[in-house]
Amino acid sequence: MSALWVAIVAVTLASAAIKAAGPILVGGRELPPQVNAVIALLAPALLAALVVTETFGDDGHLVLDERALGVGAAAVALALRAPVLLAVALAALVTALVRLFG
């Protein structure tokens, strides 16, 4: 499992450096607006990609299964302004129920 430990240490150092970079480097100054604009869009882009691959991806295939129903239920809950915790719990519950009775 040494690959895992490499990932753990590297991600920790990188994450700490990212969080420290703004406070150390920026001080009073601003980053160029274009750089800021690209960085600001990284989170929505990556989160959307993760939602898609984790919901529909299955060993190199796109599939529509119980996970889509669960995540769909979470989406409806979030659209109705449900708390994050409730939406996530609902996703697990719906997926588990569909697997149990489906």
Partner 1 sequence: MRNEAGRGGGGYLAGVRAGLPFALAAGVVAISFGVLARSLGWGVLAPIVFSVITFSASAQFAVAAVLGAGGGVFAAIAAAVLLNARFLPMGAAVAPFLKCGPLRRALEGQAIVDASWALANRGGGRFDREFMIGATVPQFAAWIVGTVVGVLANDLVGDVERLGLDVIFPAFFLALLVVELKSGGRRAIAAAAIAAALAAALVPFAPPGVPVLAACVAALLGLRGRS
> Least Å distance between CB 21 and partner 1?
6
Residues paired with 58 in a beta bridge: 61
Q: Rule CB under 8 A: which of 35-94 touch partner 1?
A: 36-57, 59-62, 66-67, 70-71, 74-75, 78, 83-85, 87-94
> Least Å distance between CB 81 and partner 1?
10
Q: Which two tokens stand for residue 19?
A: 């969080």
How far apart, in whole angstroms, are the C-alpha atoms of residue 49 and residue 45? 6
Instruction: Note whether 102 binds partner 1 by CB under 8 A.
Output: no
- Other C-beta atoms within 10 Å of 71: how many? 21
